[in-house]
Amino acid sequence: PPRNHSYLPSLVGLYDSPPGTDDAKLIDIFYPGDQLSITYGTKSRVGIGGMEAKVKAALWALQGGTSVVIANGTHPKVTGHVITDIVEGKKVGTFFSEVKPAGPTVEQQTEMSRNSCRTLAALHPDQRGEIICHLADLLVEKKEEILAANKMDMDLAVNAGQLSSALLNRLSLSPAKLNSLAIGLRQIALASQDSVGRVLRRTRVAHNLELEQITVPIGVLLVIFEARPDCLPQVSALAIASGNALLVKGGKEAANTNRILHELTQQALDIHWVKEAVQLVSTREEVEDLCRLDEMIDLIIPRGSSQLVRNIQSAAMGIPVLGHSEGICHVYIDSEAAIDKVIKIVRDSKCDYPAACNAMETLLVHRDILRTPLFDQITDMLRTEQVKIHAGPRFASYLTFSPSEVKSLRTEYGDLECCIEVVDSMQEAIDHIHRYGSSHTDVIVTENEDTAERFLQQLDSACVFWNASSRFADGYRFGLGAEVGISTARIHARGPVGLQGLLTTKWVLRGDGHTAADFSEQGTVKYLHENLPVTQPQPRQIAARSED
C-alpha cells in the first residue's frame, strides 16, 4: 500500500497538451503508459522544470509507493480544502495510478455518448422508433433473464436489511411491470415521429429572408436513480426518441438488473449503429464527481429520495438539474364532496403505491365534515388499509386523544402513513398547500364546480386535479409513454417530463445575401415580420454504415 501522499500545488492538473490550446483536455487519472500521449509546452521563464519535470517527479514517487495528485488548492471547483478532498476520494486534479482499469472512464463514456448523440439525432424518426420498439420486444422476450437478475438484487437487499419497504417495492420487478414498460415504450416510439426537427414557428423577416424555430435535442443527459431499475429502459427510450445521449447511474442495490437492462438497450441501439449513445456508469464515481463534468453534460435528472435530489442540486456545478426534491401531495375534501368519490380517491392516492412521489401525504378535511358519517368512513378505510394516521395541530385539538401528533406538516412519508389536518374553507386549504406543499400534485374532491375551478386556477402546483387520484400524475398515465421524472421547476418543463421536455430549440435563418446594414435608416430593405404557416419538413435519413 502507498506509504504516504505527495501534493504538488499550483496547477489545476495535468493536460494532454498545453493548457489554453484548442484541444487540451484535463487528465483525470494518469497511468505510466500514457507518457507518449502527452504534449508538453515550453518551460516557464521563472521555473526550473515545467510540467514535464513535475510528471517525472510524480512517476518517480509513484514507483516508490507514494500516491501522487497534481492539483490546485485555489481552483473554484475544489469544494473544500484540496488535501481533505483528495483524502476523501473526491476527483481533484490528476491522480497518478499504476493500475489501469479494464473499462472506459466516465469521461470517456460521456465523450462516446456525445459522439453517438449526433448520429442518433440525425436518424429518421422511423429508425429511432424501430430502436425503441425493438427494446420493448426485448423486455418481453428476455423477461426470464431480467427477472432472474432482479431476484438476485432482491435477495441481496433483503439479506442486507438496509432498504426500507418503500425502496424494496421500487427495486422489485414483475412480469406485469415489464409488460407495462413495453407498452409505454411503444407509445414513446409513436411520439418520436413528431420530435426532433419539428418546426414550431415560421416568420418572413423580409423578402427572401425566412426564420424558423425548430426542436433539437438538449445534448447529453445524466440520469441518477436509486433502487428503480425500470427507470433505465424508460429514460433510455425517451432519450432515444428525443435524439439525446444518455448517461445512467443506478444504485448499487440494482446492479444486476441494471446491467442486463443496459445490455438490452445497447442491443436495440445497435440495429442502427448507435450502440454507444446510452452508457451505464458502473464505476465507483461519486455523484459529486459526475456533477463536475459541466463541460460534457447538459442536463442532470435525479430520480430518487429527496435527499438524493438535494445532494445533486447542491453538487451540480453549472449543469441544470431537472426534478423535484419532495413529493408532498395533498388531497382536500370539500364540504360538498360525494362520499363514494372521497373513499375511492383517498384510498387510491394513499394506498395504491405509497412509495411513489405522487402518493398523498396530507389529507385536508373541511371542518364541516368532522363528526359526520363520511369522516368516519374515511378513517375506517385508512385503518383497514393499515395506514398510520398523524394528526395535524388543528385536527388534534378536536380529539380527546391524538393518534400521533405530526412533527412537521411538511413531511413525505413514502409509506402507509399520512397526516390529517382540518381547514375552514377551500381558500384555507390552498393557503395550507402553498405553505407546506412541494408544488408537486394536489387534489380537490367536491361536487361544486365553481369551488373546483377556483381551486384549479389559484393553486400553483405542477399538477392540480379535480375528483381524480393524485396517482394520475405520471407520464404513462398522461399519455406521454413514460417520464424521466416530475419537475416542480418553473423554467423549461414542469409536471411529468416526457419526450417534449427533453427537447430545446434553435433558430434557422435562410437568406439571399442579406446583411443587417440593409435594414438601417439608410438601407433599402424593410422588416416584414409576417407569421407563416408551419409546415413540417421531411426528415433526412443518414447514410448506411460502411463495412469498415
- The answer to whether position 274 is within a domain reads yes
Q: Which residue has the higher pLDDT, 409 or 64?
A: 409
End-of-domain residue from the set 291, 315, 339? 315
- The answer to whether position 536 is within a domain reads no
Beta strands in 435-533 (DSSP E): 441-445, 463-466, 485-487, 495-497, 503-510, 530-532
Are residues 347 and 400 both part of a single domain? Answer: yes
The answer on pLDDT for 297 being more than 60 is yes
CA distance 429 to 196: 42
Q: How does DSSP classify residue 15?
A: B
Are residues 147 and 59 both part of a single domain? Answer: no
What confidence tens digit (pLDDT) does each residue in 482-534 have?
788 888 888 788 899 989 899 999 999 999 999 998 898 877 889 999 999 99
- The answer to whether position 546 is within a domain reads no
> Which pLDDT score, from 0 to 100, does residue 77 have?
55
Are residues 117 and 238 both part of a single domain? Answer: yes
Please give the mean pLDDT across all residues of the chain.
Answer: 86
End-of-domain residue from the set 440, 456, 483? 483
243: left (phi over 0), alpha (psi -120 to 50) or beta: left
Are residues 18 and 65 both part of a single domain? Answer: yes
Considering the chain, what percentage of its residues have pLDDT values greater than 70? 89
Give the cell for residue 376.
368516519
Contact call for residues 203 and 171 (beta carbons, < 8 A): no
pLDDT band for position 542 (cuts 50, 70, 90): very low
The domain total for the chain is 3
- The answer to whether position 492 is within a domain reads no
Are residues 392 and 470 both part of a single domain? Answer: yes
Phi and psi (nearest 5°) for 212?
Answer: -130, 145
Are residues 73 and 159 both part of a single domain? Answer: no
Considering the chain, what percentage of its residues have pLDDT values greater than 90? 55
The answer on pLDDT for 60 being more than 50 is yes
Are residues 28 and 142 both part of a single domain? Answer: no
Are residues 350 and 217 both part of a single domain? Answer: no
Q: Which residue has the higher pLDDT, 125 or 19?
A: 125
Tell me the CA end-to-end span of the chain in Å, nearest whole number: 45
- The answer to whether position 92 is within a domain reads yes
> Which pLDDT score, from 0 to 100, does residue 339 have?
93
Are residues 162 and 45 both part of a single domain? Answer: no
519: left (phi over 0), alpha (psi -120 to 50) or beta: alpha
- The answer to whether position 305 is within a domain reads yes
Residues 11-25, mean pLDDT to the nearest whole number: 75
Are residues 95 and 119 both part of a single domain? Answer: no
Residues 233-251, mean pLDDT to the nearest whole number: 94
Q: Which residue has the higher pLDDT, 346 or 70?
A: 346
- The answer to whether position 352 is within a domain reads yes
Phi and psi (nearest 5°) for 45?
Answer: -70, -25
Strand partners, 226: none
CA distance 414 to 406: 15
Give residues with Cβ within 8 angstroms of 545, minimum separation 6.
273
Question: What CATH number should be reported for the domain holding residue 305?
Answer: 3.40.605.10
End-of-domain residue from the set 432, 467, 483? 483
Are residues 185 and 84 both part of a single domain? Answer: no
R_g of the chain computed on alpha carbons: 28
Strand order in the sheet with 5-8: 5-8, 67-70, 94-96, 29-30
Are residues 95 and 112 both part of a single domain? Answer: no
The answer on pLDDT for 33 being more than 90 is no
Q: Which residue has the higher pLDDT, 21 or 260?
A: 260
Provide the residue range defining the domain that includes 466.
329-483
- The answer to whether position 496 is within a domain reads no
Q: Which residue has the higher pLDDT, 221 or 30?
A: 221
